[in-house]
Amino acid sequence: MQQSESIVRQTTVVKDEQREQLERIRQSKHATILAHLNAKFPKCSICTTGLICPGFQPNSENPTLCKHCMHENRKHQDQRKAHDRTVTLAYLTQAVEKLGITVDFSEIPDIELDEELEIELEEELEIELEEELEEDE
């Protein structure tokens, strides 16, 4: 009995550490993408809704205009703010996809564990939910 309680406690500690590690990785990814987009693809000050314009990219016919929103280059001076609730990791990832760029995450510690930890924790959550449903029946 004590041994099983000890195993449960240890498993809980490991899962908590994994969640914390995944959260650190996500925060680092958020900061890395944010810095890259602000440096290379400033936001349009006119397009304030969603991802209409993910950042300035020159139009092929008129390089002074943005290919996404057709506003002038000089209108693209805004910076994304880390504390803005709308600037989530999902939002930044969509901006990167829309811009068609790649962001280098090689400087982030444990970045290679990102997907693995996410899958592991999702599977654990599914098992916990199934167990709760079985208990309710």
Could you report the per-residue pLDDT of 94-125, keeping only the tens digit for each?
Answer: 999 999 999 999 999 999 988 888 888 888 87
Whether 23 is in a domain gets the answer no
Whether 135 is in a domain gets the answer no
Distance, in Å, from the CA atom of 20 to the CA atom of 109, rounded to the nearest integer, reads 13
Number of separate domains in the chain:
1
Whether 115 is in a domain gets the answer yes
3-state helix/strand/coil string of 78-103? ECCCCCCCCCCHHHHHHHHHHHCCCC
Which domain, by its residues, includes 90? 35-124
Question: How much is the pLDDT for 121?
Answer: 82
Mean pLDDT of the chain: 89
> Is 128 a residue whose pLDDT tops 90?
no
Contact 59, 67 (CB under 8 A): yes
Distance, in Å, from the CA atom of 112 to the CA atom of 129, rounded to the nearest integer, reads 27
- The pLDDT tens digits for 3-30 are 777 777 787 888 889 899 999 999 999 9
pTM: 0.81
Whether 10 is in a domain gets the answer no
Whether 97 is in a domain gets the answer yes
Assign 58 to helix, strand or coil: strand
> Is 68 a residue whose pLDDT tops 70?
yes
Distance, in Å, from the CA atom of 137 to the CA atom of 27, rounded to the nearest integer, reads 39
Whether 62 is in a domain gets the answer yes
Whether 46 is in a domain gets the answer yes
Whether 43 is in a domain gets the answer yes
pLDDT confidence of 137, banded at 50, 70, 90? low
Contact 68, 54 (CB under 8 A): yes
